[in-house]
Chain A
């Protein structure tokens, strides 16, 4: 089903779910994100957040490990600072937390949204500014 306007689309979607079509079988394509879609088709929250958490954690650990282990491997006092100087190392660990966290979130997004998709890059099919509902074959509830 293809709609030009947002309201008709939301209305049709609501009707479809009301008729008992299981939400897992409904796919929608929209030109911009609609909060209504999440309300009508409840899904669990995106797992991208776990990628963020794991990436950030890895970054922190890497930051401290890199700084502490490399200074210990060649212990040289510079500027009267202790070999393992935690305050400056916090800065490195912080930067790597953000770096790893962002990159892993981005990769998680690509993975979970099946991008890049060669098929869709080559596909000529475009819906433009229209709102689309696709229902897969299967029994209704």
Chain B
């Protein structure tokens, strides 16, 4: 097959995904959309009745919503990692995953950004967090980790949206060429009239290199800032120096698992075996394994040093985490995050795609539970023994429903993406054909 034929086939194969949807797709969209709507209705109910409908019991005033916030920001991370970091390292296999991963980043951040608002008692005054000149001349408190979050997550969302869009410009020009009517006009406008001249490519490559270099330290900083929401407090189990790198590794771990969860079905549905090979999955599985090991290292260090320190509060907290009210979650977390991924040392299992999908689903569960365990167990075992066993926090149906709604919203946005935008980076694929 000659080169021109290969190019044409790449256009054809990848843009085919954007054709009229089938019944399974519509069913999926319906299910996810109704979950999202359900979550929205529950949020409305919570706004109407107040935060009491969530299961908060003093001293556990951060729970499922904050868990979701941390989880979704974490999911976002691997998108930037796969796109930017692998770009800087000239890793070939990035081409098969970068577009879905970047889309995932943007959508996960949209979902994540909602949770601090859901968690607010009066969601409608969220703009107090934004620094702007007011007649009261009162500014936000820049020494508060919550403001750092606003800056870090806001920057992250903006930069990853730009990165996502910039990567898509040449492909939108291809979509423009191959579509008719109103859709042609839309893609033409979105592609900004891209022509692919020598000069455009030269500037484009430089832009891409810089965006990748900016995004890489940004990834590390964002989840560090999220971890500092906890580490800046004085709570046992939260106030610890390893939190920043530990959270970053955990974020990449869960994000990589989510990429696998999304790309395996996508490859099957749209028959993209030619562009996303088992070798590529094997490389991604190695990232999953590496980050799993880092996360396990952090678990060991946390427990080990709590014991080393001889500090009674730390020791008690970690005993409680493993053996207390939330022990079931803790042990599921250990199994999913530290033990099951170890099987990926076997090359045969790394290349077994159904097995990889199962592992990645379990890792998603494990990482969600990790955040839940960190947040809830520390809060329910602080310095005040009176509160220890008085009331046990349990999530209510509102919290569970809103969590499901968040998953619904995320998958709905992703489903919309695969039908409207080029789902792989076509021009990069041609470059490497």
Q: Per the CB under 8 Å rule, do A and B touch in the complex?
A: yes
Which residue of A27, A74, A91, A102 is within 8 Å of B197 (Cβ)?
Answer: A27
A126 neighbours in B (Cβ, 8 Å): 177
A140 interface residue (CB < 8 Å to B): no
Give the CA-CA distance A66 to B150 in the complex, in Å: 15
A110 neighbours in B (Cβ, 8 Å): 192
Which residue of A27, A67, A94, A105 is within 8 Å of B198 (Cβ)?
Answer: A27
A126 to B: closest C-beta gap in Å:
5
Shortest Cβ distance from A134 into B: residue: B197
Which residue of A5, A70, A78, A118 is within 8 Å of B2 (Cβ)?
Answer: A5
B193 interface residue (CB < 8 Å to A): yes
Give the CA-CA distance A48 to B204 in the complex, in Å: 9
Shortest Cβ distance from B192 into A: residue: A116
Number of A-B contacts (CB under 8 A): 183
Contact indicator per residue, chain B 140-181, by CB within 8 Å of chain A (1) or not (0) = 111110011001101100110011001000100010010000
Interface class of chain B by DSSP: helix
Q: Are B427 and A4 in contact (CB under 8 A)?
A: no
Q: Are B155 and A98 in contact (CB under 8 A)?
A: yes
Give the CA-CA distance A73 to B210 in the complex, in Å: 36
Q: Are A33 and B203 in contact (CB under 8 A)?
A: no
Known: A28-B198, A29-B195, A30-B201. A99 touches B155 (CB 8 A): yes
A92 neighbours in B (Cβ, 8 Å): 142, 147-148, 151
Give the CA-CA distance A88 to B210 in the complex, in Å: 26
Q: Are A115 and B194 in contact (CB under 8 A)?
A: yes
Shortest Cβ distance from A79 into B: residue: B143
Which residue of B155, B198, B431 is within 8 Å of A95 (Cβ)?
Answer: B155
Chain A interface size, under 10 / 10 to 19 / 20 to 34 / 35 or more? 35 or more
B309 neighbours in A (Cβ, 8 Å): none
Q: Are A116 and B206 in contact (CB under 8 A)?
A: no
Give the CA-CA distance A43 to B199 in the complex, in Å: 9
Q: Which of B215-256 contact A (CB under 8 A)?
A: 215, 217-218, 221, 225
Give the CA-CA distance A81 to B144 in the complex, in Å: 10
Known: A70-B131, A71-B139, A129-B8. A95 touches B192 (CB 8 A): no
B202 interface residue (CB < 8 Å to A): yes
Give the CA-CA distance A130 to B2 in the complex, in Å: 13
Known: A95-B221, A102-B162, A116-B192. A88 touches B7 (CB 8 A): no
Q: Are B193 and A46 in contact (CB under 8 A)?
A: no
B3 neighbours in A (Cβ, 8 Å): 4-6
B174 neighbours in A (Cβ, 8 Å): 31
Q: Are A33 and B205 in contact (CB under 8 A)?
A: yes
A139 to B: closest C-beta gap in Å:
21
B370 interface residue (CB < 8 Å to A): no
Q: Which of A46-95 contact B (CB under 8 A)?
A: 46, 48-49, 52, 56, 66-67, 70-71, 73-74, 78-79, 81, 85, 88-89, 91-92, 94-95
Q: Are A29 and B197 in contact (CB under 8 A)?
A: yes
B233 to A: closest C-beta gap in Å:
11
B323 interface residue (CB < 8 Å to A): no
A116 to B: closest C-beta gap in Å:
4
Q: Are B144 and A74 in contact (CB under 8 A)?
A: no
A121 interface residue (CB < 8 Å to B): yes
Shortest Cβ distance from A28 into B: residue: B198
Q: Are A41 and B198 in contact (CB under 8 A)?
A: yes
Give the CA-CA distance A70 to B144 in the complex, in Å: 14
Q: Are A96 and B155 in contact (CB under 8 A)?
A: yes
B355 interface residue (CB < 8 Å to A): no
B49 interface residue (CB < 8 Å to A): no
B345 interface residue (CB < 8 Å to A): no
Q: Are A99 and B159 in contact (CB under 8 A)?
A: yes
A70 neighbours in B (Cβ, 8 Å): 131, 139-140, 142
Known: A74-B138, A112-B203. A120 touches B193 (CB 8 A): yes
Known: A32-B431, A98-B217, A109-B207. A91 touches B151 (CB 8 A): yes
Which residue of A4, A34, A113 is within 8 Å of B204 (Cβ)?
Answer: A113
B166 neighbours in A (Cβ, 8 Å): 106, 109
Q: Give 5 nearest A-B pairs by CB, closest first.
A: A120-B193, A116-B192, A117-B193, A46-B206, A70-B139
* Cross-chain pairs A/B with CB under 8 angstroms, 15 sampled: A30-B198, A33-B205, A43-B202, A46-B202, A46-B206, A48-B207, A48-B210, A70-B139, A71-B143, A99-B158, A102-B158, A105-B207, A106-B211, A110-B192, A121-B189
Given contacts A96-B151, A102-B162, 14 further A-B contacts (CB under 8 A): A28-B197, A30-B196, A85-B143, A98-B159, A102-B210, A103-B158, A106-B207, A108-B203, A109-B207, A112-B199, A113-B200, A115-B193, A119-B193, A120-B195
